[in-house]
Amino acid sequence: MTDPTATIATNPDAPLTADAEASHSGLRLDRFLSDRLPSLSRTRVQALIKQGHVALGGATIMDAKYRVKPGMHFEVTLPPPAPATPQAQAIPLAVVYEDDALIVIDKPAGLVVHPGAGNADGTLVNALLAHCGTSLSGIGGVVRPGIVHRLDKETSGLLVVAKTDRAHRALAAEFADHGRSGALERSYLALVWGAPPRTKGTINAPVGRHPTSRIKMAVLAAGKGRDAVTHYHVLATFGRAGGDRQGPVASLVECTLETGRTHQVRVHLAHIGTPVIGDPLYGQGFKTKLTLLPEPLRGKLALLHRQALHAARLSFTHPVSGTLLKFNRDLPPDLAEIVQAFKEL
């Protein structure tokens, strides 16, 4: 029996085809298309279906709940991008690398990636609209930079953005694969309370929406959340929390992602009892540790108004040239200063 397929075309001469396994049959149409076309979010797919841009055998399908069966062949046509809603703003950017296809940014803490509730402007997208001009990806439905992955507002570090639709599709597919068959690698440096149980280890625990808080994620029981895997390596430990039996006060940990769930590093580190220092969502119970620390470290931590998390390493295959690109960024000054203070305990 023929497997279902999905073809997405910006014009008849340049179709892109994604073949699905037969196991995808029975899925809702919106989920099937978003799974097979990683450059399109499920929300974007639902909008395209509703607007009549999805066809089966020449017949328009406008029901997002339509069930996919083996042998079906869907065509998705992307309409021309609408004008950008965000406004270009001359916000300084720390550009690590840039060419005609993409740009790599060292994002500072405090900068939101894209406009949203409570952040109508002053975001990375606003800055990129000013920096990139007309060279922008429209794959997201508007003429704006192609945001392939995100960092939390208060997480600093490396982030790649597509400047063309071709680059966006290729990078989105690479990130969706999570490095299983490609060169993608993402690593974070985290300053955490205490120390993990082992110097090296793997946290394999499903992550999903917190059952009672809409702004938090949580480790959930098997089948309740999405697979999430984080590999960690303790780089350094600092001080003692009242004797050898209680272990280190804090640790510097490198975390490498095998999946890319929302808040994954923060949730996983808190799950094993070592939350990221300064994390307002997952490290609240460790605030009392501040009172036990000497000055000037206590004062420096009190002034740290963000989680001590930095996207330090990013590797991926260039979507046009096929070249392996590798980027590294040391801890920014605010975190490096705190690490140095911990070393002096």
Distance between CA 11 and CA 29 in Å, rounded?
A: 22
User: Any catalytic annotation for residue 152?
Assistant: yes
pLDDT of residue 40: 77
**Are 113 and 98 spatial neighbours (Cβ–Cβ below 8 Å)?**
no
* pLDDT, tens digit (0-9, with 9 covering 90-100), for 253-294: 999 999 989 999 999 999 999 999 999 999 987 777 888 899
117 burial via Cβ count (<10 Å: 0-12, 13-18, 19+):
exposed
Among the four given CATH numbers 3.30.2350.10, 1.20.58.340, 3.30.2230.10, 3.60.20.10, the one describing domain 95-177: 3.30.2350.10
Measured distance between the N- and C-terminal CA atoms of the chain, rounded to whole angstroms: 67
Task: Spot the catalytic one: 30, 152, 165, 279.
Answer: 152
CATH number for region 185-343: 3.30.2350.10
Task: Tell me the domain boundaries of the chain.
Answer: 5-77, 95-177, 185-343
Contact by Cβ (8 Å): 30, 42: yes
Domain 5-77 has CATH 3.10.290.10: yes
pLDDT tens-place string over residues 182-235:
789 999 999 999 999 999 999 999 999 999 998 899 999 988 888 999 999 999
Matching fold, domains 95-177 and 185-343: yes
pTM beyond cutoff 0.85: no
